[in-house]
Amino acid sequence: MHDERLDVRVTGESAARETAPAITFDAISKSFTRPGGKPLEVLRRVGFVVPRGTVVAILGPSGCGKSTLLNMAAGLIAPDAGSVAVMGRDIAAGTVDWSRVGYMFQDDRLLPWRSARQNVALALEAGTMPSRERIARADAAIDLVELAGFAGAYPHELSGGMRSRVALARSLVGEPTILLMDEPFSRLDAQTRSAMHRELLRIQALRQMTILFVTHEIEEAVVLADQIVVMAPRPGRIRTEVAVTIPQPRIGAAATTALVNELRQSLGEAEPAPENHP
Amino acid sequence: MSEAEAIAASRVPAGLKTALQRCALAAILLVVWWLVSLVTPAYVMPNPIRVWQRIVQLTASGDLPSNLLVTLLRVIAGFLIAVVIGVPAGLVLGSNRTLGNFFEPVLPVLNTVSSAIWAIFAIIWFGLTPLTPIFVVLMTALPLIVTNVWQGTQAVNADFVELARALRFSRAKTLRKIYLPSILPYFFSGARLAFGFGWRVSLVAETIGSSSGVGYRMRQASDLIQTDQVFAWTIVQIAMMLVIEILLLQPLERRLFRWRRDVRS
Ligand SMILES: Nc1ncnc2c1ncn2[C@@H]1O[C@H](COP(=O)(O)OP(=O)(O)OP(=O)(O)O)[C@@H](O)[C@H]1O
Ligand SMILES: [Mg+2]
C-alpha cells in the first residue's frame, strides 16, 4: 500500500517537527469510570502548548486533573478525545522517543529494596548502559539534589523531603530534554525549596530543558514558570493562561510579589495577612 | 559508617546474651534427660552419654553421614522440583485472574491431604525407590510455594509497575526489577516452610517406603529396640536443621532483606 501523497505528507511533517512545541495538548477530554458509579468527567477540552526550552506551570485546586494531564504527557494514559503530541509526534502513533522524557510522580515511588543510589540508577536501566556508568551518573545526580552522603541509605531511612529529592534526582539522571514534574517541591521546607528552585533553573538554562510542572503554590509558579496554565475543577478546564516575563532571578523581586498578589486576588484567594513592619 | 558501627556494637552483647540463654536451656534439658534416664530402663530412655557414644560410633562407621546425605539430597531434590514448578505456577495464577479463580480451590485441597496419604500413593506408584520420598516432599512443598508466590504477586505495588512503564522497561525487565524483588520475601517464607515440612515428611516417607536414609535407619533401630540409636539419629537431624537455619537461612535472609525496616523494638 504505497501512496505518494503519504510520502509528501510525512516529509512535510518531519520539517514541521523541527519547530514543533515540546508538548501539545489538543482538546483533551477524559472521563474515569468508577466501578458501580457513573463516569467522572475529569478533563473537558483542555488544550495548550509547552514550547521548547520553556517552563510551564499547571496551577489548580485538588482534583482538577493536573496529574491526569501529566500522565497523558508521559504516555501512561490515553485521552478519550483529543490528542497529545511530544516533539511534534502524536503519542497514539507510538513514535515518541521516550528516552529523553523524565517524569517525577506526585508520590516518590522509591523501591524500598533499593538504596537511594540504586533507585536513581533505575531510570538508566531501560537501555544498555554499563552498570559502572549508571552508578557514576546516579551519584552525580544525587550530589545535584544535595544528598551526597545518603546515596547508600534505603528509602525508609530518609525523611519525606529527602525521598522527594531522590525522586527528583531519578527524573534528572537520564538528562531529559522534557521534564514532567508533579508537585516536585511540596514536601520541602522553604529554604531547601528555594535552593532546589535555583538549582533547577540553572540546569534548565544549561540544558535548554523543557519543563512542565504541577504546583499548588502561586508563588512557586511565578518564580519558575514562563507560562502559567490556571485550571478550574469539575470538570477540569483551563481557566486562564498567564505569561510571566519578569527576568530571573525572580525570588524576592518586587515584580514577583506584585504578580503573586495580583494572581491571588484574581483567582479569588485571600491575601496573606499583612506583615507587621516595625 | 560510625552509625553502623554503633549499631553493630549494641548488637554484640544482645547476641552474646541470647547465645548464653540458649546454652543454659540446652544444659537444663540435658540434665532433665539424664535424671529421667537414671530411673528408667535403657530401652525406654537411654542416658545421654550412651547416646553420644552411639553418635560417635555411627559417624565413624560412615553409616550416619551417608544416610544423612541420602535423605538431605532427597529433600533438596523434591524441594527444587517444587520450586521449579511452583514459582512459575504462582506467577501465572497471580497474574491471570481467570486462571487464578479457576484453580483457587486446588490449593486448600492439596494442603489437607496428609503426607502419609502421599506416601502410600508414592509406594503404589514408585515402590521402594528414592522417588517415593522425593514425591512426598514435592507434594508437601508445592502447595506452600505456589500459595506464597501467588500471594506475593497480589502484593506487587501497581504504582511501581506504572513507574516501570514510564521508564519504558520491557516486560522482562519489569518482571526482573519490579515483580521479582516484590515477591522475594513471600517466596522466601514459603520456601523456608516448605523445606522444614519437606524434611519432616521425608522421614515419614522413608520409614514406610524406602530402604535407605535417616527414616529407614530409624525404623530399623526401633524394630530392634535400639532406642539409643533412635535417639542418636534424632539428635543428629535436629542439629543439622539448626546448622542450616543458623549458618544458611538466617544470614541469607539478613542479606536479602537488609533494606527492611526492623520491626523489633
Ligand atoms: N485511575 C483513576 N480512576 C478513577 N478516577 C481517577 C483516576 N485517576 C484520577 N481519578 C480522578 O480524577 C480526578 C483528577 O485526578 P488527578 O489526580 O488528576 O487530580 P489532581 O489535579 O492531580 O489533584 P491533586 O492536586 O490533589 O493531586 C480526581 O477526582 C480523581 O479521583
Ligand atoms: Mg495530582
B154-208, pLDDT tens digit by residue? 888 999 999 999 999 988 888 889 999 999 999 998 999 899 888 888 888 888 8
Number of domains chain B contains? 2
Answer yes or no: do B26 and B58 share one domain: no
Q: Do the domain assignments include residue A92?
A: yes
Residue A16, pLDDT score: 61
- In this structure, the answer to whether residues B34 and B52 fall within a common structural domain is no
How far is the centre of ligand 1, averaged over its atoms, from the C-alpha of B95 (Å)? 26
What is the CB neighbour count within 10 angstroms for residue A247? 7
pLDDT of B13 reads 67
Q: What percentage of residues in chain B have a pLDDT greater than 70?
A: 93
Which of A103-112, B9-18, B74-83, B240-249 has the lowest average pLDDT? Answer: B9-18
Pocket-forming residues, ligand 1, beta carbon under 6 Å? A 32, 34, 40, 42, 62-68, 106
Instruction: Please report whether residue A11 resides in a domain.
Output: no
What's A196's domain CATH number? 3.40.50.300
Give CA–CA dist A153/A170, Å, rounded: 15
Smallest Cα distance from A201 to chain B, Å: 24
B163 touching A (Cβ < 8 Å) = yes
- Which triple of cell numbers denotes residue A78? 490515553
- Residue B67 placed within a domain: yes
Looking at the complex, does the CB of residue B6 fall below 8 Å from at least one CB of chain A?
no
What residues in B contact A126, CB-CB < 8 Å? 167-170, 173
How many independent structural domains does chain A possess? 1
Looking at residue B164, which CATH number applies to its domain? 1.10.3720.10
Least confident range from A118-122, B36-40, B80-84: namely B36-40
In a domain, B262, yes or no: no
Structural domain for A93, as ranges? 23-267
Å between A87 CA and nearest CA of chain B: 17
Same domain, B113 and B29: no
Q: Could you tell me if B16 and B87 lie in one domain?
A: no
**Cβ contact A76–B165 (<8 Å):** yes
**A273 occurs within a structural domain:** no
Domain that holds residue B197: 48-256
Task: Indicate whether B43 belongs to any domain.
Answer: no
Which of A113, A115, A126 lies at the smallest CB-CB distance from B169?
A126
Would the CB atoms of B178 and A76 count as touching at under 8 Å?
no
Q: Looking at the DSSP assignment, which residues form a beta bridge with residue A237?
A: A232
Q: CA nearest A197: which of A160, A176, A222, A178?
A: A222
B12 and B119 in a common domain: no
pLDDT score at A271: 43
User: Are both B12 and B123 inside the same structural domain?
Assistant: no
Which residues from chain A sit within 8 angstroms of residue B178, using beta carbons?
111
Nearest CA in chain B to A97: B168
The residue among B158, B166, B183 whose CA lies nearest residue A123 is B166
In this structure, the answer to whether residues B222 and B98 fall within a common structural domain is yes
CB-CB under 8 Å, B159 with A105: yes
Q: If contacts are CB pairs under 8 Å, which of residues 112-171 in chain A contact chain B?
A: 112-115, 122-123, 125-126, 154, 156
Q: What is the edge-to-edge ordering of all strands in the sheet holding A237-243?
A: A101-104, A178-182, A210-215, A55-59, A227-232, A237-243
Q: What separation in Å is there between the alpha carbon of A43 and the centre of ligand 2? A: 13
Query: CB pairs below 8 Å between A and B: how many?
Result: 40
* Banded pLDDT at B41 (limits 50, 70, 90): confident
Which of A43, A58, A68, A77 to probe ligand 1 with, by most ligand atoms within 8 A of CB?
A68
Indicate whether B233 belongs to any domain.
yes
Q: Are residues B176 and B228 in the same domain?
A: yes
Same domain, yes or no: B202 and B231: yes
Residue B167 touches partner A, C-beta closer than 8 Å: yes
Q: Please check whether residues B227 and B150 belong to one and the same domain.
A: yes
Q: What is the pLDDT of residues B115-165, one digit of tens each?
A: 888 888 898 999 888 899 999 999 999 999 999 999 898 888 999 999 999
- Domain co-membership, B94 together with B140: yes
For residue A149, what is the nearest residue in chain B, using CA coordinates?
B1
CB B133 within 8 A of CB B209: yes
pTM of the model: 0.80
pLDDT recorded at residue A136: 93
B18 in a domain, yes or no?
Answer: yes
Q: Is residue B24 part of a domain?
A: yes
pLDDT for A15 equals: 59
Q: What's the mean per-residue pLDDT of chain B?
A: 86
ipTM score of the complex? 0.84
In this predicted structure, the answer to whether residue B8 has a pLDDT above a threshold of 70 is no
**Mean local confidence (pLDDT), B225-252:** 88
Query: Is A18 contained in some domain?
Result: no
Distance to chain B for A21, nearest Cα, Å: 21
Taking CA–CA distances from A105, the nearest residue in chain B reads B163
Cα–Cα distance for residue pair B201/B213, rounded to 1 Å: 13
Distance CA A105, CA A88 (A): 24
Question: What gap in Å lies between CA B141 and CA A254, rounded to an integer?
Answer: 72
Domain membership of residue A5 (yes or no) is no
Residues 77-96 (A) with a CB less than 8 A from some CB of B: none
Shortest CA gap A206–chain B (Å): 24
Are A187 and A155 in contact, with CB atoms under 8 Å apart? Answer: no
Q: Which of A76, A111, A126 faces B160 most closely, judged by CB atoms?
A: A111
Residues of chain A with pLDDT under 50: 1, 3-4, 6-8, 270-278
Q: Tell me which chain B residues have a C-beta less than 8 angstroms from the C-beta of A107.
A: 159
Mutational pocket test of ligand 1: of A28, A30, A34, A40, the residue with most ligand atoms within 8 Å of the beta carbon = A40
B176 touching chain A per CB within 8 A: no
Residue closest to B30 by CA, chosen among B187, B231, B186: B231
Tell me the CA distances in angstroms from A265 to A218, A239, B91, one per residue in order.
11, 14, 56
Chain A contact set for B159 (CB, 8 A): 105, 107, 109
* Residue B263 covered by a domain: no
